[in-house]
Amino acid sequence: MTSPTPAPFGTWESPITPETVTSQGISFSAVATTPDGTIYVAEGRPAEEARCCIVEWRNGEPRDVLPKEYSARTAVHGYGGGAFATISNGNIVFHDWKTHGVYILDPATSSVTTAVEPDPKIYYADFNAHPQKPELILAIREDQRSGEAINELVLINSVEKTIKVVVSGADFYSHARFNPAGDRVSWIQWNHPDMPWTGTEVFVASWVDGALEKPVKLAGQAGEESITQPRWGPDGTLFFVSDRSGYWQFYQWSPGSDKPRAIVIEGLEKGEFGHPDWFLASCTYVLPNPDTIVAAWTYEAAERLVIIDLKTNTYTFPSHVASLTGIRDSSVALTSPTSITVIASTPTSPSTVYHISLTTDSTPTILRSSTLLTIPESFYSHAKHISFPRTTPTHPDTQSHAFFLPPTNPNYTSPPGQLPPLIISIHGGPTAHSDPGLTMMWQYYTTRGYAVAFLNYAGSSGYGRAYRTLLNGSWGLLDVHDAADCARYLISTGQVHPSRVGITGGSSGGYAALQAICDFPSLWAAAISISGISDVEALVADTHKFESHYAFRLLFDDNVPQTEEEKRTVYRARSPRFKAEKIKAMTLLLQGTEDEIVPLNQAQAMADDVQRSGGVAKLVIFEGEGHGFPRKAENGLRAMKEEEDWWRESLGEKQ
């Protein structure tokens, strides 16, 4: 065994390459199953022009079942989700990204038939077929033909190729589901200015001759209570998750009951069984029998699988899956009464599709990993949850949170007395959270000698409703202070270099990064913004329907100024582009031309203003890319190289 080579932080050679992270990697957006245990996984493939393929797993063997001319993806609510679902007859219904049509796929033959004729102005998502009449399919439709998006719950008849509106009038819908008998339907709806995590309502109604009758609201309240993931149990009991207690916890309702009842599991009350529904058709729990829930439970932003016994109100954390985390969106599906399929990561493995036994402690079967790279675990930096005090006077005696990853590479050691550069990563949303699961992109940096921190600033999920609402009225202020406090904490504890600190993020995270280098200019050496917001007034004017009221609560809470002049004062104070003269950090902006959420003009204006003020700024534009990190392999590779060059130049040891 050779001794580690002394070398400056940030210069270490790594077995992880840009190709590993981009063109050679894939992503998993959803998993679904059929009663016979067949598994279907939606794979995002950068090497295939970002196509989303449906892969069948039968008896442990994979097979692409979606023809190459189709991509199972949608853009309802701007972010999509729920682009495909299995049907009781063994077929699959899916929305095609390229044509915007809805199709029925026969996995046995890969033949595709049209259920809804394509229209470039209409999207569909979140499908659920009738258990006895598979041609009847509930879906969420977003119709943009009038120039303003109209969202409705519709019924598709895939044989007659007809569409019928069954619920309308609310601004948004999600999670429409038939019960096992096919005579009831549950769904969620909400209106502006709410988002799914601020205030939603769950309804049930009888299903009679293709129509909903006698709808009843079971729970939920605008601005006060968020309901998510209503799901029928095998005996016809409806389960859902509500945050009325301050945490997303389980409730159940039986037909004929006056109201739902809380499922109180002592020891799990301060964690959460839900997450913000940025994407449609989320599924993080299943019901293998009337007395059991298998769910992802989140505590301090880390997910764990738990099995709940409803007869005794007790729970167990299965030891053979104790390391699984990052279980969000449409990531859990039942394959049999005694097994499930899960999309998850661990501290030493990236996003992976697992098949898991619920009754034995056998090692989970790996169906497919998001990366082909296999390296010793000694190269991986383990994320450690840290909490640190806030220094802002508006929130005394409170803490913020992060996951810290120290530089790790068994082949290298640092010269005596050196400290590593730090990159703080800001998640988007801002209502989301970072978890401790392994991500190859950040291991790419930790194996090169960088320290990394995933900041779960005020407003993040994973810590309860009160923590999520802390950002209301303080967007662009408290999140930015949390970033600065995180950097100062790691500096003060001697874990990172005080003058080699960078900050990065996408979307709202990019906005926080840009705000940070304006408001704390002496702290940051560099920033990278990916699809970041630079002008909040322009965002409010230009953004899509789903988020069109979101910024008001984040900026003003319930105290919206009465005059446009007062609003503009706040807009200007919270917009990085109007404070560009304060920036000292080297600033890189990555932006797609087809971004409908944060348009290209935001990044262009920011780059121009920084350069006009004498600062260093570079804008890199990706043709055909939308919101967030590039989906296509060649664009992802280019972005990775641009970012690494930027960090090396800005955070490298100055001679």
- The answer to whether residues 383 and 454 touch, using CB atoms and an 8 Å cutoff, is yes
Span 248-262, pLDDT tens digits: 999 999 998 989 999
What φ, ψ does residue 133 adopt, rounded to 5°? -125, 80
Q: What does the block give as tokens for 8?
A: 């400056």
Q: How confident is the model at residue 468 (pLDDT cuts 50, 70, 90)?
A: very high
Return the closest-CA partner of residue 627 out of 540, 538, 510: 510
Ranking 20-24, 317-321, 454-458, 605-609 by mean pLDDT, the lowest is: 20-24
Cα–Cα distance measured from residue 591 to residue 357, given in angstroms and rounded to the nearest whole number: 43
Grouping H, G, I as helix, E, B as strand and the rest as coil, residue 419 is coil
**CB neighbours of residue 446 within 10 Å:** 25
Return the closest-CA partner of residue 343 out of 29, 26, 65, 25: 29
Tell me, yes or no, whether 98 lies in a domain.
no
Tell me, yes or no, whether 449 lies in a domain.
yes
- How many domains does the structure of the chain reveal? 1
Span 628-641, pLDDT tens digits: 767 788 888 899 99
Report the pLDDT value the prediction gives residue 504, as an integer from 0 to 100: 98
Sheet hosting strand 39-45, strand order edge to edge? 27-33, 39-45, 51-58, 61-64
Q: What does the block give as tokens for 32?
A: 């679904």
Report the pLDDT value the prediction gives residue 560, as an integer from 0 to 100: 86
Domain coverage including residue 615: 5-16+376-536+583-651
Grouping H, G, I as helix, E, B as strand and the rest as coil, residue 95 is strand
Asked whether the predicted pLDDT for residue 7 surpasses 50, the reply is yes
In angstroms, what CA-CA distances link 90 with 102, 212, 424? 17, 26, 46
- Specify the pairing of strand 84-86 against strand 92-95: antiparallel
CATH number of the CATH domain containing 409: 3.40.50.1820
Asked whether the predicted pLDDT for residue 1 surpasses 60, the reply is no
Question: What pTM, to 2 d.p., does this model score?
Answer: 0.95
Provide, for the chain, the percentages of residues in helix, strand and coil under a 3-state DSSP scheme, each rounded to the nearest 5. Answer: 20, 35, 45
Span 271-294, pLDDT tens digits: 999 999 999 999 999 999 999 999
Tell me, yes or no, whether 430 lies in a domain.
yes
**H or E, element range at 366:** strand 365-369
Tell me, yes or no, whether 214 lies in a domain.
no
Q: How confident is the model at residue 654 (pLDDT cuts 50, 70, 90)?
A: low
Tell me, yes or no, whether 63 lies in a domain.
no
Write down the residue that tokens 């019928």 correspond to.
164
Report the pLDDT value the prediction gives residue 589, as an integer from 0 to 100: 97
Instruction: Tell me which amino acid residue 41 is.
Output: V
Asked whether the predicted pLDDT for residue 655 surpasses 60, the reply is no
Cα–Cα distance measured from residue 555 to residue 456, given in angstroms and rounded to the nearest whole number: 19
In angstroms, what CA-CA distances link 457 with 94, 106, 354, 469, 480? 36, 45, 30, 11, 8
Tell me, yes or no, whether 647 lies in a domain.
yes
Q: What does the block give as tokens for 413?
A: 């050691």
Span 505-547, pLDDT tens digits: 999 999 999 999 999 999 999 999 999 999 999 988 878 899 9
Asked whether the predicted pLDDT for residue 440 surpasses 90, the reply is yes
Average pLDDT, the chain: 95
- The answer to whether residues 237 and 291 touch, using CB atoms and an 8 Å cutoff, is no
Report the pLDDT value the prediction gives residue 632, as an integer from 0 to 100: 82
Grouping H, G, I as helix, E, B as strand and the rest as coil, residue 385 is strand
The mean per-residue pLDDT over the stretch 134-153 comes to 96
Q: Is 522 exposed, middle or buried (0-12, 13-18, 19+ CB in 10 A)?
A: exposed
Tell me, yes or no, whether 273 lies in a domain.
no
Report the pLDDT value the prediction gives residue 461, as an integer from 0 to 100: 97
**H or E, element range at 550:** helix 550-556
What φ, ψ does residue 346 adopt, rounded to 5°? -135, 175
Radius of gyration of the chain (CA): 24
Tell me, yes or no, whether 265 lies in a domain.
no
The mean per-residue pLDDT over the stretch 219-242 comes to 98
Instruction: Tell me which amino acid residue 597 is.
Output: I
Span 300-329, pLDDT tens digits: 999 999 999 999 999 999 999 999 999 999
Q: List Cβ<8 Å contacts ≥24 apart for 303-307.
A: 303/327, 303/328, 303/344, 303/435, 305/342, 305/344, 305/356, 306/268, 307/358
